[in-house]
């Protein structure tokens, strides 16, 4: 059974940087397209970034484009989300997700999810 475990969340100030990690176990991460989503309080789950299996393709949501960077290390079965110039509106629970083969920008296209890690950005 594939498991995804996020880490790296915390409380930061506006303008700070933070790096999230997602470790995949129970399966070879090289088989999966990976993505990051977040969910703010009372909001729908929002697409942030996705990366293809061989890292050649990356796509970002408009709200994080130019500030967040997704990457992966298939040897370590780990996905990263480097976040820069954080804003209070970036506050939320951050989830990593996996699906076989091709990248996709919508939450309902992913069938494997982690439990999430909380990121809080204070003004």
User: Cα angle at 94 between 90 and 100, to 5 degrees?
Assistant: 130
Strands 46-51 and 3-7, bridge-based pairing = unpaired
Phi/psi of residue 115, each to 5°? -85, -20
Q: Which residues of the chain fall below pLDDT 70?
A: none
* Residue 28: per-residue pLDDT: 83
* Residue 21: per-residue pLDDT: 98
Collect all residues with Cβ–Cβ distance below 8 Å to 56 and sequence separation of at least 6. none
* Residue 98: per-residue pLDDT: 96
* Residue 29: per-residue pLDDT: 85
């Amino acid at each position: 059974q594939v498991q995804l475990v996020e880490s790296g969340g915390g409380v930061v100030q506006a303008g700070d940087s933070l790096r999230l990690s997602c470790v995949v176990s129970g399966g070879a991460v090289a088989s999966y397209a990976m993505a990051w989503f977040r969910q703010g309080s009372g909001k729908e789950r929002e697409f942030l970034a996705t990366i293809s299996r061989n890292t050649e393709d990356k796509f970002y949501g408009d709200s994080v484009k130019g500030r967040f960077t997704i990457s992966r290390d298939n040897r370590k079965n780990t996905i990263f989300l480097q976040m820069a110039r954080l804003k209070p509106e970036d506050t939320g629970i951050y989830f990593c997700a996996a699906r076989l083969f091709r990248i996709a920008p919508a939450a309902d296209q992913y069938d494997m999810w982690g439990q999430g890690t909380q990121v809080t950005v204070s003004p």
